[in-house]
Chains A and B, each alone.
Chain A
Amino acid sequence: MSKLRVYSFPMIYQKFHPCKILEPFIECYFVWQSGDQPVIDLVVESPPNGFCSIVFNAGDLYFLQNKKYDKLEVPVAFVSGQSIYSYKLFLNGNISIAGIVFKPAGLATIYDLPIHEYTEERIDLKNLFPHSLVDKYSSTLATEQEPKQKAQVLEDFVMKQFEAAKPEPDYIDHAANLIVEKNGLLHVNELMETVYMSRRNFERRFLKKVGLSPKYYARIRRISYLTNMIAGKKKVDWAKIFSECEYYDQSHFIKDFLEFTGRTPQQYLEENKELVHLVDKPKEQPLD
């Protein structure tokens, strides 16, 4: 098994906040770059986080491993649907990755895509957009050196579609964003109080726009919140955490944790290779 290497050179991971008009749809833009030396056998892992993204890779090709894929060569530019399993990335050489992280229903609202089809998939952008458009933005992102400039290119990519489609967030966007805001700590019945439709209809529409059922999505957001709380720590008070995350008993907590991360909480704490071990937790910066 690969061990986590300690890099002495600065690895850059920065997040940027979208402009006001895109806030209902975009969580952030991110830019991840290796420093002045290539990386060797770098393994980075992530639990499911509840967000879909569009990612451009201007660096060396890398591979993904999860419960489904043993070693998938990740497309150069792709749409990533909801993850329900933890995944690992295997990187070698130059890292130059930039992406748009969408609010849970944002990708569906802006691009009118059936997001339930993308769950656990990395779909080549050329399956969805004209090749010339993908090539143009891939090339521009490869040319730009500064993270902020790259984020602006990503915003331009979304803005083109936004201006053409003029989408408005609907009740599914609001409900899904509320789940994020409450870190998954709410009951689906609370969501139903503000939507005027049957539960069945709501769940169907939610599945098509977010990729998962509302209840399942809330469970993933809770695990994401929890793993974010423990990221980078060596020791935690588990009893306090499972109480804060409103698990009604320890076995329920461990079952959920195992299902989504593939490990017990303690194993996760001891073995996880999240990016936070290599970079400072990024603060989100404004684009303008």
Chain B
Amino acid sequence: METLVQQQRKLSLKNACVEFMFAYQQRNVDKMLSFCDEKGTVDFQSLGEAGKGKIYELGKGIWSALIDCFPDIDNTLDAAVAEDEETVRCQVVIRGTQKKDFADIPNKGLRFDRDHIFIFHLNDKNKIDDIRISWNHEDFKRQLGS
């Protein structure tokens, strides 16, 4: 049986992830990063090798670009489930209207609305030290007319 301490730990680590998603909703990248370890890693899995890097470098760059190119970007957190004592899985719907070219996707003024899975790993200080994000990139591009 899980101990009371283990259960308490699982409850508290969900909060950092939920607050991270709320900061994303506010389009506040600095606030998002404040929940992360400076040496943390990120993997935007649907982008392959190009999607792997540091949260404070690649993560900051991609989220800033997304907010710039999709100024009304918004998300809905459907559910946050602790997979173990260090990992939380967040099911999120992200949506937004394109206003600028984003990476290889030219701006056609279209809107996307897609399910995303964020898997957060937290260290013993409750800081996010790894994020894996997956989504259907082909459908994302299709919605944007690319």
Measured in the bound complex, the distance between the Cα atoms of B89 and A120 in whole Å is 11
User: Is the Cβ of A212 less than 8 Å from the Cβ of B4?
Assistant: no
Tell me which residues from 11 to 69 in chain B have a Cβ below 8 Å from any Cβ of chain A: 11, 14-15, 18, 22, 25
Residues of A in contact with B (beta carbons under 8 Å apart): 68, 72-73, 75, 82, 84, 114, 116-121, 123-124, 126-127, 200, 203-204, 207, 211-213, 215-216
User: Is the Cβ of A127 less than 8 Å from the Cβ of B91?
Assistant: no
Whether a CB of chain A sits under 8 angstroms from the CB of B79 is yes
User: Is the Cβ of A127 less than 8 Å from the Cβ of B78?
Assistant: no
**CB-CB nearest in chain A for B8:** A127
Residues of B in contact with A (beta carbons under 8 Å apart): 1-2, 4, 7-8, 10-11, 14-15, 18, 22, 25, 74, 76-83, 91, 93
Q: What A residues does B7 contact at CB under 8 A?
A: 121, 123-124, 127
A121 interface neighbour in B10, B22, B77, B93, Cβ under 8 Å: B10
Q: A72-B2, A121-B10 are in contact. Are A116 and B81 (CB under 8 A)?
A: no
User: Is the Cβ of A200 less than 8 Å from the Cβ of B4?
Assistant: no
Q: What B residues does A116 contact at CB under 8 A?
A: 14, 18, 80
* Interface class of chain A by DSSP: mixed
Q: What A residues does B74 contact at CB under 8 A?
A: 200
Q: 18 A-B Cβ contacts within 8 A? A: A68-B81, A84-B81, A116-B14, A119-B80, A119-B81, A121-B10, A124-B2, A126-B4, A127-B4, A127-B11, A200-B25, A200-B74, A203-B77, A212-B79, A213-B76, A213-B78, A215-B78, A216-B79
User: Is the Cβ of B79 less than 8 Å from the Cβ of A119?
Assistant: yes
User: Is the Cβ of A75 less than 8 Å from the Cβ of B1?
Assistant: yes
B11 interface neighbour in A73, A117, A203, Cβ under 8 Å: A117
Shortest C-beta distance, A30 to chain B (Å), equals 23
**CB-CB nearest in chain B for A75:** B1
User: Is the Cβ of A213 less than 8 Å from the Cβ of B77?
Assistant: yes
User: Is the Cβ of A216 less than 8 Å from the Cβ of B78?
Assistant: yes
Measured in the bound complex, the distance between the Cα atoms of B35 and A126 in whole Å is 29
9 further A-B contacts with Cβ under 8 Å, apart from A213-B78, A215-B93, are: A68-B83, A84-B81, A116-B14, A116-B18, A120-B82, A121-B7, A121-B10, A124-B2, A127-B11
Question: Considering the complex of A and B, which 5 residue pairs feature the smallest CB-CB distances, nearest first?
Answer: A216-B78, A73-B1, A117-B11, A213-B78, A120-B81
